[in-house]
Amino acid sequence: MSYLSTVDFTEDRAFVDRFQRTMRGDLELSWMDAPRERVACRPQNERRGLTFRDLDVGSYGFTDMPELIRENRSFAPRGAAMPEGLPDLQAEVNRKSEVWAYNIEGYYEEAMTRQWNATTDIPWGELQSVDLPEDIGKAYAQLLTFLTEVEMIATDVPAKWMGRLNADFFEVKNFIATQAMDEARHAEIFRKRALSTGWGLMRASAQNEFNLKFLRDADSFAEASLALHLQAEGMVLTLFRFSEYISPTEGDKKLFRLVMQDEARHVGYGMQHLKWVLDHFPERREAIHHHLDEAENFVFGGGYATEVLEPFIILSGKGLKKENIAEGVRITNAFQLKQADEYFERLAKCGLPERRERSRLWKMIELRKQSMAA
Amino acid sequence: MRAERERFSRLGFFDTTFGVRISPDDGGEPAEFALRFEVFDCVRVVEGLAGVETDFVVEGPLGAWREMFDTIHALGAADTTQSLNTLTHFGERLRVRYDDPDGHDKLYRFAESIQEFLDLSARVDYTYPDGSRPPARRDEPRRTAR
């Protein structure tokens, strides 16, 4: 208990007197005269309901929010009257361009309506009736083990930053709250699927965890978002699509379509955030490149994680026979190139077209394409 | 889709406009359509893509589309080989065209809604341009292990 009240209220005469007067019906009512903007927001589209966009009015809105939040250091909801004496809660992120994204309010509403349930939305009964061959079953259980590890850290990162953002960034805080829930559900579903395959969880991945630690320990929210939403989740989105492609059953395909939806929404936020940063805080461009340099170094180092790479080969080749492995290597190669292409394509669209020229990962990918073509 | 309001409401907001391009197997002019979804419904279907701002366009030969719709009609829903993501992932059967990766990602943001929309075709009685019909519903499981 490190934070103590400066007052012992049971011993404070003024407090006790005021409390007793109130409870006798002698109301003070000064809060009723707080000079606030009166609004009665209505849904612009009745079918959609009352959205955050409908609340974007006057001092309650986000459009006119300044770049630097100097006034509100407390939990006062944006637009509320702020009396003297509110505590300084020492938010670490008070610059709008460090967190904001175009259409952030839309991503939040979409997230809320597209929540699903790992316990009830998957045909678990049908999945239990399917016996996977041993090589496929083990490879799939290993992939699920890796994905559970990934999603656990993906839950921790937004949760870590949520309380560090200024309360005025209400829409962003709510969005990353939905992200933490999404990622927790992903960890849940991958764990449940691993434990229902008949094989259980397989081996944790040291190399992968170094990468995850890099994501978790970013020095700023902007760096965390860049590495998590755009680089990591962008690549995981391609991985989920690939996993849907190689899934052995229809139930597994549904599972991957559901996680894919959430992941694509997080990537959407990451893209719109990076665009916002480059439009409103262009001096960060160089810092972004430096952070991506290291993020991509970890991505390339992921090649050491045989427990991650080999299951892809076995699942996409559908077995361990020589011809299966050859086919699996061919498909996995195509997947990895696609993953890199989509990542650099997103960065270019966000306003970093020069990333390809600067990136050592891109150069390695180009060399690989050339050697494959030869 | 409106008759399945409960099902699509549960899947959530579904806001995208995408195109469908079907190339005749004999190489003639493709048939093009734009489908617009808003909130929980398909609100507009128009023929032609000229002047329509789409998030992405799914294109492929009539044979590939037909195989997908035949499977859906026969089994009630796509099987492991005929889901839209599987068909488009490496562009082996169908391809996805787009200008903006953010628009492209909407194919994945709304993946389950789009798949369920396509699966609704199992309940529609229709004929192909050559006058043939999709196969009748088979009463067999569509899920396979390998």
The ipTM of this complex is: 0.91
Q: Global pTM?
A: 0.94
The rounded distance, in Å, linking the Cα atoms of B125 and B139 is 18
Over its length of 146 residues, how does chain B's per-residue pLDDT go in tens digits? 888 888 999 999 999 999 999 999 888 899 999 999 999 999 999 999 999 999 999 999 999 999 999 999 999 999 999 999 999 999 989 999 999 999 999 999 999 999 999 999 999 999 998 899 999 988 765 544 33
The rounded distance, in Å, linking the Cα atoms of A208 and A215 is 11
pLDDT (tens digit, 9 = 90+) per residue, A47-105?
Answer: 999 999 999 999 999 999 999 999 999 999 999 999 999 999 999 999 999 999 999 99
User: Which regions of chain A does DSSP assign to beta strands (E)?
Assistant: none
Contact flag A114-B12 (C-beta cutoff 8 Å): yes
Counting the structural domains of chain B, the total is 1
Tokens of B130: 């050559």
Residues 6+ apart with CB under 8 A from B1: B8, B40, B41, B42, B117, B120
| 3-class secondary-structure state, position A242 | helix
Q: Are A239 and A339 in contact (CB under 8 A)?
A: yes
Q: For residue B78, how many C-alpha atoms fall within 13 Å in the half-sphere facing its CB?
A: 24
Report if residue B133 sits inside a domain. Answer: no
Beta-carbon neighbour count of residue A349 at 10 Å?
18
The rounded distance, in Å, linking the Cα atoms of B134 and B76 is 12
Chain A nearest CA to B24, separation (Å) = 26
Bridge-based pairing of strands B41-47 and B16-23 is unpaired
- Give the pLDDT band of residue A218 (cuts 50, 70, 90): very high
Report if residue B143 sits inside a domain. Answer: no
Listed by start position, the domains of chain A span 10-90, 96-373
What is the pLDDT at residue A348?
96
What is the pLDDT at residue B145?
33
What is the pLDDT at residue B4?
86
Between residues A33 and B68, the one the model is more confident about: B68
Bridge-based pairing of strands B56-61 and B16-23 is parallel
Which residues in chain A have Cβ-Cβ distances shorter than 8 Å to B11? 114
What is the pLDDT at residue B144?
40
Among candidates B13, B89, B142 on the partner chain, residue whose Cβ is nearest the Cβ of A242? B89
Q: Which amino acid is at A249?
A: T
What number is the average pLDDT over the span A219-246?
93
What is the DSSP track for A131-172? PPPHHHHHHHHHHHHHHHHHHHHHHHHHHHHHTTB-TT-HHH
Closest Cα in chain A to B99: A349
Domain, as residue range, for B17 = 2-122
Q: Architecture of domain A96-373 in CATH?
A: Orthogonal Bundle (1.10)
Chain B nearest CA to A201, separation (Å) = 20
Burial annotation B49-68 (CB, 10 A radius, 16+ → b, else e): beebebbbbbbbbbebbbbb
SS3 per-residue string spanning A310-324: HHHHHHHHCCCCHHH
CB pairs under 8 A between A and B: 105
Which residues in chain B have Cβ-Cβ distances shorter than 8 Å to A244? 83, 85-86, 89
What is the pLDDT at residue B142?
53
| 3-class secondary-structure state, position A15 | helix
Which residues in chain B have Cβ-Cβ distances shorter than 8 Å to A267? 105
Report if residue B137 sits inside a domain. Answer: no
Indicate which CATH number applies to the domain containing B55: 3.30.1050.10
B65, B81, B72, B66: which is closest to B122 by C-alpha?
Answer: B72
What is the pLDDT at residue A199?
94
What number is the average pLDDT over the span A296-315?
89
Among candidates A109, A130, A237 on the partner chain, residue whose Cβ is nearest the Cβ of B108? A237
